[in-house]
Amino acid sequence: MLEISNLVLNQWRTMSKKQVKQSANGWWSGDAVCCTHNGETQDKRGRGGILVHNEGFTWHCFNCNYSTAYTAGKTIGLKMRHLLEWLGFDDITIQKLNLESLRRRTLDDIASDKGLAHQLALLRTNKFKTHTLPEGSRDITPNDTKFVDYLESRNLKVSDYNFKITPKGLARKKNRIIIPYMYKDKVVGWTSRFLDKNKPKYLNENQQPGYVFGIDLQKEDWKYVILAEGIFDAISINGLAIMHSEISDKQIALIKNLGKEVIVVPDQDKAGLGLAEQAIEAGFSVSIPNWGDGIHDINESIIKYGKTGTLLSILQAKESSKIKITVALHKLRKALYE
């Protein structure tokens, strides 16, 4: 794919203040464009490099260690998309390059792409059965003071989600808020959050394998999707929730099908460490904001800092580099176990 590789090289030459030149080993070198986006100072020593080959090209930065590659017939991945953006390519041009790459994809390429086949197979199994909410379920009204007050204590309003209650239910059921699981505008299960002092506080009912809460909350024009563990975390920031401390392959397939950059925000506790490690393996970004003592998850942050402040802190702390995520997890692990 020399024409696309040359297009990228010419763009780099145009924006570079220093000459981009080729060494004897075939690498083109010049000032890297990725460093300031990865927590490093601007490269002025020609630490960026491109190696052109028959299938495409490889980028590596010897300053911030950002690496990515383009291969003909493959979809342009998130890291390569970031590089192209930093080089000054707009969204329309990137999409054209992506389509040009896929146009050259052969049947053998498609058949051999086991990762894609695996994801498609998992998506085909994600067929969720519809369910009817518990008998007597109804909307929360302003007169339902106890339930309204609870939501307000979490910096939520009744209008933030289609919450339900069963005030005429037996025993604990009259003291619960029902959070329906929605998928393509249909109810496929629900969580009960009990407001009494007994345990369990939460009861996930009819959560089907592969289901991810919040899929229906996502918008087409959003660049990011925020993934948390807790259901109130997801509602607070219009994100996703896996509702467990571990994420399954089916859930990963459903999330990736959204086609957005996934930012995993784990609870800042021991269980959250495991979720963050799974996020690394799935190729997701991870964010561990410094919210201060006593704040362990998104909803707690929103109560203190508000939705905008919390969202900004998540984006500022976002990391896509495995090395930097590992370092952040090491700091969190040290703080948790001290």
Q: Does 104 score more than 70 pLDDT?
A: no
Domain co-membership, 215 together with 195: no
Domain co-membership, 144 together with 263: no
CA distance 338 to 336: 6
What confidence category does residue 107 fall into, taking pLDDT thresholds of 50, 70 and 90? very low
Domain co-membership, 89 together with 118: no
| Average of per-residue pLDDT across 87-107 | 78
Domain at 156, CATH number: 3.90.980.10
Domain co-membership, 47 together with 142: no
What confidence category does residue 111 fall into, taking pLDDT thresholds of 50, 70 and 90? very low
| Percent with pLDDT over 90 in the chain | 46
Domain co-membership, 245 together with 338: yes
Q: Does 203 score more than 50 pLDDT?
A: yes
Q: Does 120 score more than 60 pLDDT?
A: no
pLDDT digits (tens, 9 = 90+) for 16-44: 777 888 887 788 999 999 998 888 888 88
Q: Select the more confidently predicted residue: 113 or 49.
A: 49
Domain co-membership, 179 together with 239: no
For the chain, what is the domain count?
Answer: 3
CA distance 290 to 310: 10
Which of 190, 207, 224 represents a domain boundary (last residue)?
Answer: 207
Domain co-membership, 124 together with 273: yes
Domain co-membership, 222 together with 322: yes
Residue 177 sits in which domain range? 129-207
Q: Per mean pLDDT, which of 85-89, 122-126, 161-165 is the most reliable?
A: 161-165
pLDDT digits (tens, 9 = 90+) for 282-294: 889 999 999 988 8
CA distance 176 to 193: 5
Domain co-membership, 181 together with 49: no
CA distance 106 to 133: 48
Q: Does 143 score more than 90 pLDDT?
A: yes
Domain co-membership, 98 together with 235: no
What confidence category does residue 306 fall into, taking pLDDT thresholds of 50, 70 and 90? very high
Domain co-membership, 117 together with 107: no
Domain at 268, CATH number: 3.40.1360.10
| Average of per-residue pLDDT across 98-123 | 59
Q: Which of 242, 279, 250 is nearest to 119 (CA)?
A: 250
pLDDT at residue 118, as a whole number: 54
Domain co-membership, 167 together with 179: yes
Which of 165, 191, 207 represents a domain boundary (last residue)?
Answer: 207
Single pTM value for the model: 0.64
What confidence category does residue 313 fall into, taking pLDDT thresholds of 50, 70 and 90? very high
Which of 48, 82, 112 represents a domain boundary (last residue)?
Answer: 112
Distances (CA, A) of 88 to 12, 28, 65: 9, 18, 20
Residue 49 bridge partners (DSSP):
29, 60
Residue 96 zone, left/alpha/beta (φ > 0; ψ -120 to 50; rest):
alpha
